[in-house]
Structure 1
């Protein structure tokens, strides 16, 4: 039985998937299997990966396009290992990613979630996410409160995290009824029930200008998560209450920017403003056209390697 199962959800990534696979094959820790879940790609993605298929690198095929959550769930159900990790077909791991996660597993047996830091790649620029990793011990490994350190970008993303199988048994699988913020929805459940061991070292590259990231459709066309269903979780957990308020703020602002004013009002009315900072409160009240201008300005700056946020 392999120590890790690596799941690659695949849909139309012919320009990237080979490099993604190579970054897995270049790992210093080699006790793993790879499950590529093809979600009915219409390009040459599958033909590109076929030469790499083996006993340890397998292709799973969907008969119909089902989306990211379903692709992950298919991989999880077929996984032979107890430790499951993911890499999108347009992102890359540093060579020591699996080695780092393996060491976390050995050092923190009380944890069931194991994450590492990452970097964002924009064209030819590499940018650090605004994810509170600067307040965690530099290059240290420790148990951290996921909700406390996620009032910004994710402290990990789904290409830099590993879950023990028991997490899915307790917290459930990825919600196939939504196709926006699926990771956030799952992270709430997983981190509510289980401890997170975290390495504040950069172990993954998240490419921001490929595929869906490059041509984002309106959020109003998406099936959105219902964060209200987690309010009961937050009654005795202040960190989670703050995190839910933050994610509702992000969702409401996003919806307002895209022109969904009634839905914005509904979500913002259920947001606990006492947990938002002054910048976030102001941004929620701004007209949509100003939010659009701010967004365009931020996109211009990010191409120059400059980031500013409301976090």
Structure 2
């Protein structure tokens, strides 16, 4: 039985999937299997990976396009290993990713979730995420409180995390009804019940401007998470409540920019403004035109290698 199962969800990534596979095959820790789940790609993605298929690199086809949640679930249900991790077909691992996760598993047996820091790639520019990793030593490895530290960008993303199978047995799989931020919904459930061991070393490259990224398009026709269903947990966890309100703030801005005049007014109601900083409160109530104008400026700065965010109070 392999130590890790690596799941690659694949949908129309012909220009990227070979490099993703090679970054796995280049790992310093080699006890793993790879399951590629093809969600009805219509490009040349399959022809790009056929030569890689072997006893430990398998390919599963969906008969119908089911979305990312169902694609991950298919991989999990077919996994042979107890430790399950993912790499999207347009992202890359550093050669020591699995080695780092394995070390966390050995050194922190009380944890069932294992994550690392990552870098963001914008064209030819490499930028650091605006997460709370700067509050930790650059070589930190240990148990962290997910809800306390994950109040900005993700402390890990779904290409830099590993879950023990028992997590899925306890909290269930990815919600197939959700087609936007399904990772966030799962993270809430998983981290509520299980401890996270974290390495602050950068072990993954997250490409921010590749094809088919929902985060850069309208979400009006996508089912989004219902954070209200976690409010009963938040009554005994102040940090979870802060995170839920921050996630609602992010959704409200996006829905405003997409032109939804009903849903954002519903989502904004449970937000306690004390859980946002002053910049976020201002943006929360700005009209659509102002938000779109600020996005334009933000993108112009990004193209110059300058990243801006509202996470700081300064």
Question: Where on the TM-score scale, by shorter chain, does this alignment land: which range?
Answer: over 0.9
Corresponding residue of 2:229: 229
Measured after TM superposition, the shift of residue 17 of structure 1 is 0.2
Partner of 1:280: 280
Q: Does structure 1 residue 304 correspond to structure 2 residue 304?
A: yes
The CA deviation string for residues 217-266 of structure 1, in whole angstroms up to 9 with x for no partner, is: 31212111100000011111111111111101111111112111221111
Instruction: Normalising by structure 1, report the TM-score.
Output: 0.98
2:244 alignment partner in structure 1: 244
Deviations for 1:253-301, whole angstroms, at most 9, x for unmatched residues?
A: 1111211122111111121222111111111111110000111111111
Report the alpha carbon displacement of residue 216 of structure 1 after superposing the two structures with TM: 3.2
Aligned equivalents of 1:30, 1:156: Cα separation in 2: 22
Aligned equivalent of 2:253 = 253
Structural mapping, 1:68-147, within 5 Å: 68-147=68-147
Equivalence for 1:198: 198
CA distance in 2, matches of 1:237, 1:214: 30
SS, match of residue 84 in structure 1: strand
Which residue does the alignment assign to 1:50? Answer: 50
Residue of structure 2 equivalent to 1:32: 32
Report the counterpart of residue 268 of structure 1 in structure 2: 268
What is the CA–CA distance in structure 1 between the aligned matches of 2:216 and 2:284, rounded to whole Å?
Answer: 21
Q: Which moved more, 1:132-141 or 1:120-129?
A: 132-141
Q: Is the 8 A contact 2:180 2:214 kept in 1?
A: no
Q: 1:215 to 1:178 in 2, by over 3 A?
A: closer
Aligned length: 311
State how far apart, in whole Å, the 2-side matches of 1:215 and 1:146 are: 23
Answer whether contact 1:257 1:288 (CA < 8 A) is retained: yes
SS in 2 for 1:58: strand
Q: Are the aligned partners of 1:208 and 1:214 in contact in 2 as well (CA < 8 Å)?
A: no
How much has 1:215 moved relative to structure 2?
8.6
How far has the Cα of 1:184 moved from its partner? 0.3
**Match status 1:219 vs 2:226:** no
Other structure's SS at 1:129 match: coil
Determine the C-alpha separation between the residues in 1 that align with 2:261 and 2:149: 30
Pick closer, same or farther for the CA change 1:215–1:308 going to 2, 3 Å. closer
SS, match of residue 289 in structure 1: helix
1-structure distance, mates of 2:144, 2:80: 28
Deviations 1:45-96 (A, max 9, x none): 1111010000100001100000000000000000000000000000000000
Instruction: Detail structure 1 runs of 4+ shifted over 4 Å in the superposition.
Output: none
- Write out aligned runs for 1:163-174 (5 A): 163-174=163-174
The structural deviation recorded for 1:137 is 1.8
State how far apart, in whole Å, the 1-side matches of 2:48 and 2:138 are: 39
Distance, in Å, in 2 between the alignment partners of 1:30 and 1:2 is 9
Match of 2:16 in 1: 16
The equivalences for 1:149-164 within 5 A come to 149-164=149-164
Q: Is 264-273 or 123-132 further displaced after alignment?
A: 264-273
Any idea what SS the aligned residue of 1:137 has? coil
TM-score (structure 2 length as normaliser): 0.97
Structure 2: distance between partners of 1:104 and 1:300? 39
8 Å CA contact 1:14, 1:43 repeated in 2: yes
Structure 1: which 5+ residue stretches go unaligned? none
Contact 1:180 1:224 in 2 (8 A): yes
Secondary structure (helix, strand or coil) at the match of 1:261 reads coil
In 1, the alpha carbon distance for the partners of 2:234 and 2:157 equals: 22
